Chain A
Amino acid sequence: MRQYIFRRVMISFIVLIGVSILLYALVRLMPSDFIDMTTAGNVKMSDEVRESLKEAYGLDKGIVEGYISWIWSALHGDLGISFIYRKPVTEIIAKYAPITFAVAFIALVFEVLVAVPLGIAAAKRQYSKMDYIIVSFAFMGISLPIFFFAQILKRVFGFYGLDILPVSGMLTARATYVSFTFTKLLDYARHLVLPISCFVITSVGGLLRYTRTNMLEALNADYVRTARAKGLPEKKVINKHAFRNTLIPVVTMVGGMLPSLFSGAAITESLFGLDGLGKIALEASYRADIPYLMGFNMFLAILTLAGTLIADILYAVVDPRVKY
């Protein structure tokens, strides 16, 4: 097992190098760069000044040269200075990652808590009214555009509607908290209700339908008939024999969902004004902030690889047939 993990980490490292080459090429191939964008429309800006600015930002170098200097510093733990924020990218990531992590983790927990029980309930009574309602709910969530749904939620629960939940930001603007108290935590929580509900409702469908499909397959499996033939009560047949087998693919899927939670954060955070990595990333990609984009995307790539590795390890935990 330890050897397997070591090997996987080594392979991941090579994959990351490949990913960074691709990413760098893509980011540099964006039609216009940071200087062009910031100085566009500024008549006083001469081409000379522009060139010297580009030199200062390292945008005068070719893609290959630029990449080599980026990766060289990256390997030394330096991801460069963000063009927009004028701060080291590592510092920005370290500062805002905890918020994104917290939101993503809470969203993941809720997503699993909603998707798995509903998927099982639907599978248990295939083609019943309950099944149709649950599956329609899942499809509705999948098909709702997130920005549209976010506006609906804001309208209904926010200031112009029921006025029971804040629609933007992390904390109530006027409130000042001297120390971390329960009221502060509650304020955080109230601000997260809408973003997390929005995210969970629009993305829960995939996992829900996956759970349902796998549960249906398990319920039709021979070993479930054997469990019934033993005389086990139906509850045990479903919650023990069928569920334990459904868990295998579901765990793998949840492991793979980790990175999509983070990339999804870009949209959710912007829509609800949460100060997380995703919101900054969206802004950075509008303005071609190359160091930040590279840093953020490499961070996502690492998460993706870590997610699949965790999923594979969990796979071995839940399925005795898998051994590394």
Chain B
Amino acid sequence: MGDKKNNTARLREIKRFNNKKYREHTKLSRRKNIEPSQYLTEMKSPDSILEIENLCTYFYTDVGTVKAVDGVTFNVPKGKTVGVVGESGCGKSVMSLSVMRLLQEPQGQIASGEIRFRQSSENRAVNIPNLPLKEMQKIRGNEISMIFQEPMTTLNPVFSIGAQLDESILLHNKGISKKDAAKRSIEMLELVGIARAEGIYKGYPHELSGGMRQRVVIAMALSCNPEIIIADEPTTALDVTIQAQILDLLRDLKNKINASIILITHDLGVVAEMADFVVVMYAGRIVEQGTASDIFHNPQHPYTVGLMKSRPTSHGQQEKLYSIPGSVPNPTDLPDFCYFKNRCEFCMDICGQKYPPLYKLSNTHKAACYLCKDEKSKFEGGVFSE
């Protein structure tokens, strides 16, 4: 009885808090005449194109605040590919939607942190969370574009493929004629390996298979020569054979274009082949990051090691696929200590006391685990060199 009463009081408290947050957000987003000084910034590193620093993205839901992304920091160097890995639900999509400012507002908000983007077209650096929507719209699809997970629903069913491709091109290339836009669209379709591009150009999404639709989405993402492409699990929804084809395409494109790529996936094999840098996320935080070789040959965090072990191997020796025991903790109610503690086989006393800081293992390699405190690697040699 008393519990129930407490609970309703708590829920009401949450509701009040959320409404306050929604109002604040609405007020902020309706601001007119935002001074450039509020969103102009300086890049910290000369060779990075995107710098995410302490990004916190929260969802204010009826059951409490979901800290989907909670203090993520990493850089995307120009022309390089950064792989972001982690189990489902650990905040990868939310992180990428934050960069695009495509969160479901006002429930989802960037609560704090910076996303600095080197906007070379304007010869400046901007802080994306503070950008007015109009400025953001100039970046979306033009300088930063996105490939989504679900090709079956990503395209609008009522417009032709051609119309949807032309739309981006016409939008971001002022003064281009419709005919030239159509020509460019068909070129893009050819670039992503679609035969009979002119026929497809006139067709509708429902006439295409999932793999073909994903190619169209990729063509759309590339059509304005973006500086950054965010691919959020571009192959997860596809059949295995089609997955391989799309990955081949992405690998091929990576060499043809000189955009930076943020490749989100839970397939470590893909990351191993394509990524220069890897970020491992767990429950909204980065638990380990480094160069691809750091992560693959010298993983330090037990979670990364678990992910490695749970990869299907090509030898087919393992009968049952390893999977990390337990599941991702409830994101509304995260503890103060290491989030991985109740799934970790190396758990120590100190692990239950405070969330571990990111220990620097080398210039490129960091991990948030007390095992790395004394710099002596627990998993020497890495998992690949068994």
A contacts, CB < 8 Å to B: 220-223, 225-234, 241, 244-245, 248, 318-321
Contacts and interface: CB of A to CB of B under 8 A. Distances in A.
Given A222-B148, A225-B148, A320-B206, A230 B156 contact: no
Please give me the 8 A-B residue pairs with the lowest Cβ-Cβ distance, nearest first: A231-B140, A230-B141, A231-B141, A222-B153, A223-B156, A231-B137, A320-B204, A321-B206
20 contacts: A222-B153, A222-B154, A223-B154, A223-B155, A223-B156, A223-B157, A226-B155, A228-B102, A229-B100, A229-B102, A229-B140, A230-B145, A231-B137, A231-B139, A232-B141, A232-B171, A233-B134, A248-B158, A319-B157, A320-B160
A230 B142 CA distance: 7
B159 A244 contact: yes
Contacts of A231: 137-142, 168, 171-172
B63 interface: no
A228 B156 CA distance: 12
Contacts of A229: 100, 102, 140-141, 145-146, 148
Contacts of A245: 156-158
Contacts of B150: 222
B324 interface: no
Interface string B323-351: 00000000000000000000000000000
A230 B158 contact: no
A241 B156 CA distance: 7
Contacts of A222: 148, 150, 153-154
Given A222-B148, A223-B155, A231-B142, 19 more contacts: A223-B156, A225-B102, A226-B154, A228-B140, A229-B100, A229-B102, A229-B141, A229-B145, A229-B148, A230-B167, A231-B138, A231-B141, A232-B137, A241-B159, A244-B159, A245-B156, A245-B157, A248-B158, A321-B157
Interface in B139-187: 139-142, 145-146, 148, 150, 153-160, 167-168, 171-172
Contact of B156 (A220, A226, A233, A234): A226
Contacts of A319: 157-158
Residue of A221, A230, A245, A318 with most chain B CB atoms under a 10 A cut-off: A230
* Most chain B C-beta atoms within 10 Å of own C-beta, residue among A223, A227, A232, A241: A223
Given A225-B148, A245-B156, A318-B158, A230 B168 contact: yes
Contacts, number: 72
B139 A320 contact: no
B184 to A, nearest CB: 15
Contacts of B244: none
Contacts of A225: 102, 148
Nearest to A221: B153
B220 interface: yes
Contacts of B155: 223, 226
**Most chain B CB within a 10 A radius of its CB, from A222, A248, A319:** A222
B133 interface: yes
